[in-house]
Structure 1
Amino acid sequence: MKKVSFLSLPNSILVLRICIPLFFVAHAVTRIANGTINQFADFLSGKGFLAASAMVWGITIYEIIGGIVLSFGFYIKYLSLGFILMLIMGNIIIHYQNGWWVGEHGEGGMEYSCALILALLVIASSKK
């Protein structure tokens, strides 16, 4: 029996490389559109971070520009690493205290961020 695949491995990785970074772009654009930059900065200030507003704007700009650039296939390993580090820090600072599950079984946990980290590892290991 001939095995028929839905997508080839290279095409599957291409879909990941295009779509996953756009999640970050959407996340950042929503942060701007909803006006939650200051709320995020206040949260980080409460955790003891200095220059929290500048940090949030840096994260937001990285998500937008880095996400677009990664979707186009440039600086794949470096941008993926940056997003992975951002997600790890987000898990440590924000999500860990909420447990593993994001929704249904919990609220705001690490599950989704860990899935993104795994997808970014696949993207980082691929060749354009």
Structure 2
Amino acid sequence: MISTWIRSAPTQAHVSVALVRVAVALVILMHPLHGYAHLENIPRFGEYLSSLGFPYGGVLAWIVLLAQTAASLLMLAGRLVVPACVAHVVVLLTGIVVFHYPLGWYVVGPGEGGMEFSVLMISCLCAVAWAHWPRRRGL
């Protein structure tokens, strides 16, 4: 009995991946939903992006918002999961480089606003994408 807990192979991996897929999609979906509920913040986000040197900050802010929405809804529906994960990873990596990395590792605790949460989300997205990656038949 104890050895089955020590060396256990996953028996419900498809359920586990689905749980992570749905949880990550819902967590990320909260960001654009907050944006839609507070539309006055989107131009501010665009101005912030412009101040960092991104062209068309306002347009880019809307693209990020719409991409996060579409990618999250696709992940929830279980459709186009790999491209949706890639879209989220691009947004999260950009957020790390532009905002979180200069603040360090920790989100809370020894520091604030760091990149640990984004790294965890990227890891989950990569695992989900890998699980949904198309496999060649007959190999």
TM superposition score normalised by structure 2: 0.84
SS at match of 2:111: coil
Amino acid at match of 2:25: P
Aligned pair partner of 2:25 in 17, 21, 34: 21
Partner in structure 2 of residue 67 of structure 1: 72
Amino acid at match of 2:120: A
CA shift digits 1:17-74 (9 cap, x unpaired): 1120111211111122133212211111110111111101010011112101111111
**Percent identity for Structure 1 against Structure 2:** 25
**Which ranges of structure 2 fall in alignment gaps of 5 or more residues?**
134-139
SS at match of 2:124: helix
Q: Aligned runs of 1:1-128 on 2, under 5 Å? A: 1=1, 3=4, 8-34=12-38, 35-127=40-132
Q: 1:10 and 1:105 mapped to 2: Cα distance?
A: 36
TM superposition score normalised by structure 1: 0.90
**Which ranges of structure 1 fall in alignment gaps of 5 or more residues?**
none
Q: 2:115 and 2:60 mapped to 1: Cα distance?
A: 21
C-alpha root-mean-square deviation of aligned residues, in Å?
2.0
Say which structure, 1 or 2, has more relative contact order (CA 8 Å, 6+ apart). 1
- Pair 50,70 (structure 1): closer, same or farther in 2 beyond 3 Å: same
Amino acid at match of 1:8: Q
Large movers: runs of 4+ above 3 Å:
2-7
How many residue pairs match? The answer is 128
Structure whose CA Rg is larger: 2
Q: How much has 1:7 moved relative to structure 2?
A: 7.8
SS at match of 2:48: helix
